């Protein structure tokens, strides 16, 4: 991706595109529907039918119009969820507002559909006024012709909605192809070189948060890292609390990179700066080289499984864990909000009753750069994360933090969201619980 937009600029762009698309859509619909209505009357195909048949015809055309509208509503939802834009400004306004107020996808989708449908119904009015106005004033056009015109306009509108839905789907498909794919484009070494040569501000914050969150973990139990990539920088924080560490990722190439570090192969990534930062976060003022080496050794000893996982699978791992950590995985694996929701459901489903879930996501990011290619991101924020954690997690135990990281804008994001939550159920460590908080820290 070359043009990366965040925050206010992205919203302005979305609204500019939506306003232009709304105007173009209004104009094209008007031309198509009017032309279809006029053509039907002029063709004389329904000339001579009585008023009752004309009304029945009009009613039947509403069925076609509704069918077209249904397809268009689905396409509009897809457009909103993948691009944040719409061909209907009211629909976008309703979607954005509801999403902000409720933090949930379903009410926002309903609001978007309501806004879209209300606009389409309102657009009918000028046709009725025009058709019956002409019939009242004209000697050659009667009530029956007015009804036939309206029916023709409905058929034109139905064809228009179907065409628009097709166009929207092809735009979304093309846009999807603009992003790089994990299956074909991901190069672990490029990711490590681009993001993990030094401890950048987002990781200063993420590791500090994870160290703190892991104080809530049940000691002596296996810990799963889901979507760990070719990295270990978050893993060192779990070495003391975990009985075993299981590392899961979608790509064998990422797991192979980790294996190289475990086996101390030449050229394996150097994580010592991250280990040092972890130890500082744990309270060691000035960790020595020996301290860093000791934590590396302990981590190597704790890692007992490298597992291939797919967040698209309803049970990505055939067991549950007392602690699951998934950093920059679901949000950084897809640009599609509905897919992100699904991935989050599957990943959080791996947390056992009373267990701890710790996560991190790029905030309001559509794409991040790895090796000059843009990988998709789901454009989520703290409200989305809160909503994703609502089912099944204790609302009284957990934390959500937002950290601005303007230095990372060149990567494609300017903020991160960090969260931990405890699954409801037996085994929940009530004493360690903290109420959900939402802090915005300074850069």
Ligand X SMILES: C[S@@+](CC[C@H](N)C(=O)[O-])C[C@H]1O[C@@H](n2cnc3c(N)ncnc32)[C@H](O)[C@@H]1O
When asked if residue 412 is in the footprint of ligand X (CB under 6 A), the reply is: no
- Give me the 236-275 binding string for ligand X, x by CB under 6 A, dash otherwise: -------------xxx--x---------------------
Tally the residues of the chain: 443
| Binding residue count for ligand X, defined by CB under 6 A | 18
When asked if residue 282 is in the footprint of ligand X (CB under 6 A), the reply is: no
Contacts of ligand X in 172-201 (CB under 6 A): 182
Nearest to 195 by CA among 439, 435, 413: 413
Looking at the Cβ atoms of 78 and 416, the one nearer to ligand X is 416
Q: Region of 227 please: left (phi>0), alpha (psi -120 to 50) or beta.
A: left
Among 68, 151, 229, 415, binds ligand X (CB under 6 A): 229
When asked if residue 328 is in the footprint of ligand X (CB under 6 A), the reply is: yes
CA dihedral (106, 110, 111, 116) in degrees, to 10, reads 140
When asked if residue 333 is in the footprint of ligand X (CB under 6 A), the reply is: yes
Among 36, 164, 247, 309, binds ligand X (CB under 6 A): 309
When asked if residue 311 is in the footprint of ligand X (CB under 6 A), the reply is: yes
CB atoms closer than 10 angstroms to residue 57: 20
When asked if residue 354 is in the footprint of ligand X (CB under 6 A), the reply is: no
Looking at the Cβ atoms of 170 and 407, the one nearer to ligand X is 407
Looking at the Cβ atoms of 152 and 227, the one nearer to ligand X is 227
Looking at the Cβ atoms of 153 and 311, the one nearer to ligand X is 311
Looking at the Cβ atoms of 151 and 367, the one nearer to ligand X is 367
Tell me the sheet residues that pair with 226.
248
When asked if residue 227 is in the footprint of ligand X (CB under 6 A), the reply is: yes
Answer for the pair 216, 422: CB distance below 8 angstroms, yes or no.
yes
Task: Tell me which H or E stretch contains 50.
Answer: none
CA dihedral (339, 232, 350, 336) in degrees, to 10, reads 0
Looking at the Cβ atoms of 21 and 311, the one nearer to ligand X is 311
Closest contact distance (angstroms) between CB of 44 and ligand X is: 59
When asked if residue 54 is in the footprint of ligand X (CB under 6 A), the reply is: no
Which tokens sit at 206?
């993420």
Distances (CA, A) of 353 to 86, 179, 384, 393: 40, 37, 22, 9
Strand-pair category, 221-226 with 242-249: parallel
Answer for the pair 165, 25: CB distance below 8 angstroms, yes or no.
no
CB atoms closer than 10 angstroms to residue 75: 21
Binding segment (CB under 6 A) for ligand X, from list 144-152, 167-175, 262-270, 328-336: 328-336
When asked if residue 341 is in the footprint of ligand X (CB under 6 A), the reply is: no
The contact set with ligand X (CB under 6 A) reads 182, 227-229, 231, 249-251, 254, 309-312, 327-329, 332-333
């Amino acid at each position: 991706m070359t043009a990366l937009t965040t925050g206010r600029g992205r919203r302005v762009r979305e609204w500019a595109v939506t306003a232009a698309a709304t105007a173009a859509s209004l104009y094209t619909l008007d031309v198509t529907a009017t032309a279809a209505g006029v053509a039907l009357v002029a063709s004389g195909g329904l000339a001579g039918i009585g008023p009752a048949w004309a009304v029945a015809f009009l009613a039947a055309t509403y069925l076609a119009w509704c069918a077209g509208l249904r397809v268009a509503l689905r396409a509009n939802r897809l457009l909103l969820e993948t691009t944040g834009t719409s061909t209907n400004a009211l629909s976008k306004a309703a979607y954005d507002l509801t999403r902000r107020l409720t933090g949930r996808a379903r009410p926002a989708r309903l609001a978007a559909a309501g806004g879209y449908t209300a606009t389409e119904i309102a657009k009918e009015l000028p046709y009725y006024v025009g058709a019956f106005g002409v019939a009242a004033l004209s000697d050659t056009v009667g009530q029956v012709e007015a009804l036939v015109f309206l029916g023709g306009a409905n058929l034109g509108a139905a064809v228009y909605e179907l065409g628009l839905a097709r166009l929207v789907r092809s735009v979304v498909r093309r846009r999807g192809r603009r992003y790089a794919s994990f299956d074909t484009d991901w190069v672990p070494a490029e990711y490590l070189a681009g993001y993990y040569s030094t401890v950048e501000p987002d990781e200063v914050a993420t590791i500090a948060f994870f160290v703190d969150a892991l104080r809530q973990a049940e000691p002596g139990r296996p810990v799963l890292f889901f979507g760990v990539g070719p990295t270990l920088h978050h893993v060192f924080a779990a070495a003391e609390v975990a009985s075993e560490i299981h590392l899961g990722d979608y790509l064998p190439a990422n797991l192979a990179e980790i294996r190289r570090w475990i086996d101390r192969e030449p050229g394996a990534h150097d994580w010592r700066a991250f280990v040092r930062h972890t130890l500082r976060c744990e309270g060691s003022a000035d960790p020595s080289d020996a301290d860093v080496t000791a934590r590396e050794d302990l981590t190597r000893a704790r890692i007992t499984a490298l597992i291939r996982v797919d967040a698209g699978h309803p049970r990505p791992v055939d067991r549950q864990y007392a602690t699951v950590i998934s950093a920059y995985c679901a949000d950084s694996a897809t640009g599609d909000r509905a897919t992100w929701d699904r991935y989050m459901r599957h990943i959080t489903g791996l947390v056992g009753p009373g267990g701890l879930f710790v996560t991190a996501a790029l905030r309001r990011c559509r794409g991040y750069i790895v090796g000059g290619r843009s990988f998709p991101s789901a454009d989520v924020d703290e409200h989305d994360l809160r909503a994703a954690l609502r089912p099944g997690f204790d609302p009284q135990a957990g934390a959500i933090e937002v950290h601005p990281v303007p230095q990372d804008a060149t990567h494609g994001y300017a903020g991160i969201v960090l969260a931990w939550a405890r699954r409801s159920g037996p085994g929940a460590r009530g004493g360690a619980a903290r109420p959900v908080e939402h802090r915005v820290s300074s850069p």
